[in-house]
Amino acid sequence: MLSYAIRRAGGAAVVLLLVLTMVFLMLHAAPGGPETAYLGNNPTPEKRAAVLAQLGLDRPLWAQYLTFVGSILTLDLGSSLTTGTPVSELLADRMLVTLELGLVAFVVWTAIGMLAGALAAARRGRALDAVVRVGSVVALSVPSFWLGLILVLVFGLYVPGVLPSSGWATWDEGVGEHLRSIVLPAFTLGISAAGVIARTLRTSMIEALDADHVTFGRSLGLNERTILSRIALRNAVIPTVTVIGMMLGTFIGGAVLIENVFNVPGVGQLVVSSFLAHDYPVAIAATVWTAGTFLVATLVVDLLYFAIDPRIRAQFLERSTR
């Protein structure tokens, strides 16, 4: 298990470096640069050159890239080119907000999605199944930014005062206020994922219920409850774990649209502002977070597979002893 984890982590590190290199190149290929923030309108070429030299942006691209890789390896993220605040400080606050929002949405919606999917499969062809099937399609096909805007409109204008439609209350502002401010962004963030999870689990549950071993269990008089919860679900959850892992990555990576619609001060909002300002260090750091969370989520899924699917475990052991 440990060597499996180390091997997977090594692979993840390589992917992360590739992602960072691409972000670096794309930022530099984009027109404009961070110097515009320092220079007013109509700057003289001399002034521009001075600022570029000060920021280290006049050096050849490969030299900048080496510095960049070096700073990543030493975990020195530098400071914001626009405000001068250390990037680590800037990111830390926003990470916490994004993490909390993402985890709340993830836990609640995954639970709802799995429950809906499992119940639909158990009641296949009946009313509840139809409700879940229609409901999940609606949930996954409604664009989140549109839903977000509608919710802002409803709770901001038509029924004001029920739930805050914008902004993020910290814990210091009161637990109740804080939790109330999470409701709408978390609802909007997770609803489509719940639809996907419900559908995936329903399909694999139905497949699992058709398996030979389920028929054999029934032939020995096992009750439907045991069949569903102990046998079919245990088998059906394996393909669903992949989907859930991907969701986890997108949830805690920073939801760009949701955070901007609801004005949540998370990483997603930081990504937008830093890219618009060509604030290279901040943009890079935010990207590291987003890509990193995705890789960690994938890694967690692989390790989970290892834990729940004995066939994968056996395959790995077989390969490593050869």
Residues at the interface with another protein (CB under 8 A): 124-125, 210-213, 215-223, 226, 230-231, 234-235, 238, 308-311, 314
| Of residues 7 and 230, the one with the C-beta less far from another protein | 230
| Of residues 47 and 313, the one with the C-beta less far from another protein | 313
Place of tokens 């967690």: 300
Chain-centre distance of CA 255, in angstroms? 7
The CB-of-249 to another protein minimum distance in angstroms stands at 25
- Least Cα distance to 78 among 290, 289, 282, 269 occurs for 282
Which residue type sits at 258? I
4 half-sphere exposure, CB direction, 13 A CA radius: 20
The CB-of-125 to another protein minimum distance in angstroms stands at 7
The CB-of-229 to another protein minimum distance in angstroms stands at 12
| Of residues 67 and 229, the one with the C-beta less far from another protein | 229
Instruction: List CB contacts of 195: < 8 A, sequence separation 6 or more.
Output: 113, 135, 136, 137, 138, 139, 140, 141
Backbone CA torsion sign across 250, 251, 254, 257: positive
| Of residues 43 and 217, the one with the C-beta less far from another protein | 217
The CB-of-198 to another protein minimum distance in angstroms stands at 20
Identify the three-state secondary structure at position 285: helix
The CB-of-218 to another protein minimum distance in angstroms stands at 6
| Of residues 276 and 307, the one with the C-beta less far from another protein | 307
